[in-house]
């Protein structure tokens, strides 16, 4: 079923509204209610755990009966379960909405099925409108729901010829100040920042997120993976959060424990060894490659062995954005075949 121009515009608006909500254990969701003539009647978004969902937030702004025959445009399939709030699918049915257009299917075992519930009540349902944009907005939440582990961003900085350091091991600074500031801003958006013990011993990083000389209000939890001990005087011990240490090479176990601790967004900040391990394990949901216009040569590659023995085994990426950052270039990419991506259709 085709969407109307009014519904398409409403979805664009709903996505903008969704971005107002906090990133956390619940997805960012926006909703717009349209009259039968395509005029906006109400808007809403989800403001965090325990607050009304986007559809209910929008409906709450209407008088009783005002939503009869209306269309609800929502960035995520209306939920179908009772948690801290009731099922949004039923709220739309009770309000008399006759059509629902949504972007992405809800992957939750308990919360999914809202579309089917609406159809069973005689509501016309269209799925998949601007699904890619919605998936991008809630990518970390979708990863947690579908793969039962945190969303992993693997970051590295490299020279134009793919090196992470010069032959003597020096790497500060390959990229310019604008790129480094961009990294710190993205660190502040993560729940945890991960390095290997090699990086701790070689660079003694603080693993904080800094805005210039000041710390961002939101700091990721520092995580160190590896068997070598971290010195008692290491900078990571002065982090605002107590660091977590994992003496294991089992990345699945590490991610499972972080998930149990409520971590949803993991930022891999270590060197080539730890970055390569996450890529090889298929646990790189987003890749941030900062590319500096310098040439280093040598064998200090940004990635080492990731299990690719022939070109047919190459890890294929889809670049979502090429972003100039000062004199450097940032490639923001994700796996071409995304195990956390659902299949929405109309």
Tens digits of residue pLDDT in 132-145: 999 989 988 888 88
Tens digits of residue pLDDT in 223-275: 999 999 999 999 999 999 999 999 999 999 999 999 999 899 999 998 899 99
Look up the domain containing 113 and give its range: 5-137
Predicted local distance difference test score (pLDDT) of residue 25: 78
CB atoms within 10 A of CB 222: 25
Using the structure block, give the residue that is written with the tokens 């403001």: 47
Question: Among 55, 77, 129, 344, which one carries the catalytic annotation?
Answer: 55
Residues 6+ apart with CB under 8 A from 170: none
Q: Taking a C-beta distance cutoff of 8 angstroms, is the pair 346, 128 a contact?
A: yes
Q: Are residues 163 and 255 in the same domain?
A: yes
200: CATH? 3.40.430.10
In this predicted structure, the answer to whether residue 96 has a pLDDT above a threshold of 50 is yes
Q: Are residues 109 and 257 in the same domain?
A: no
pLDDT band at 344 (very low <50, low <70, confident <90, very high): very low
Predicted local distance difference test score (pLDDT) of residue 341: 54
Which residues line the annotated binding site? 53, 79, 88, 157, 171, 173, 187, 199, 203, 207, 210, 227, 269, 271-277
Residue 343, domain member (yes or no): no
Mean predicted lDDT score pLDDT of the chain? 91
Domain boundary among 103, 137, 171: 137
Which residues line the annotated binding site for NADP(+)? 157, 173, 199, 227, 271-277
Structurally, how many domains does the chain consist of? 2
Which residues does residue 268 pair with via DSSP β-bridges, in sequence order?
Answer: 154, 194
Residue 235, domain member (yes or no): yes
In this predicted structure, the answer to whether residue 114 has a pLDDT above a threshold of 70 is yes
Residue 189 annotated to the active site: no
Using only the alpha carbons of the chain, give its radius of gyration. 23
In this predicted structure, the answer to whether residue 110 has a pLDDT above a threshold of 70 is no
d(CA 29, CA 21): 7
Instruction: For the chain, give percent helix, strand, coil, nearest 5.
Output: 30, 25, 50
């Amino acid at each position: 079923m085709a969407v109307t121009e009014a519904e398409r515009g409403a979805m664009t608006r709903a996505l903008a509204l969704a971005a107002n909500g906090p990133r956390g254990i619940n997805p960012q969701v926006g909703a717009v209610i349209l009259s039968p003539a395509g005029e906006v009647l109400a808007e809403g978004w989800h403001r965090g755990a325990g607050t009304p969902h986007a559809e209910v937030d929008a409906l709450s702004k209407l008088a009783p009966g005002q939503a009869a025959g209306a269309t609800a445009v929502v960035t995520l399939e209306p939920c179908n379960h009772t948690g801290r709030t009731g099922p949004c699918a039923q709220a739309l049915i009770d309000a008399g909405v006759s059509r629902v257009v949504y972007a992405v299917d809800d992957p939750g075992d308990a919360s999914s099925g809202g579309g089917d519930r609406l159809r069973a009540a005689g509501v016309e349902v269209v799925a998949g409108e601007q699904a890619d944009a919605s998936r991008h907005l809630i990518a970390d939440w979708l990863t947690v729901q579908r793969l039962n582990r945190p969303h992993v961003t693997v970051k590295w900085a490299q020279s134009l010829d793919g090196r992470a350091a010069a032959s003597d091991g020096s790497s500060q600074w390959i990229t310019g100040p604008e790129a480094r500031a961009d990294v710190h801003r993205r660190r502040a958006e993560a729940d945890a920042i991960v390095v290997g013990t090699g990086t701790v011993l070689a660079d003694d990083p603080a693993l904080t997120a800094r805005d210039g000389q000041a710390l961002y209000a939101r700091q990721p939890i520092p995580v160190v993976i590896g068997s070598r001990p971290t010195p008692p005087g290491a900078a990571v011990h002065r982090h605002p959060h107590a660091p977590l240490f994992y003496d294991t090479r089992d990345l699945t176990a590490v991610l499972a424990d972080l998930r149990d601790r409520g971590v949803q967004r993991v930022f891999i900040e270590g060197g080539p060894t730890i970055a390569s391990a996450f890529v090889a394990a298929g646990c790189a949901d987003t890749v941030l490659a900062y590319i500096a216009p310098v040439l280093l040569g040598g064998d200090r590659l940004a990635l080492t062995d990731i299990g690719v023995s022939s070109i047919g085994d190459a890890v294929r990426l889809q670049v979502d954005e090429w972003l100039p950052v000062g004199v450097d270039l940032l490639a923001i990419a994700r796996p071409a075949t995304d195990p956390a991506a659902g299949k929405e259709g109309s």
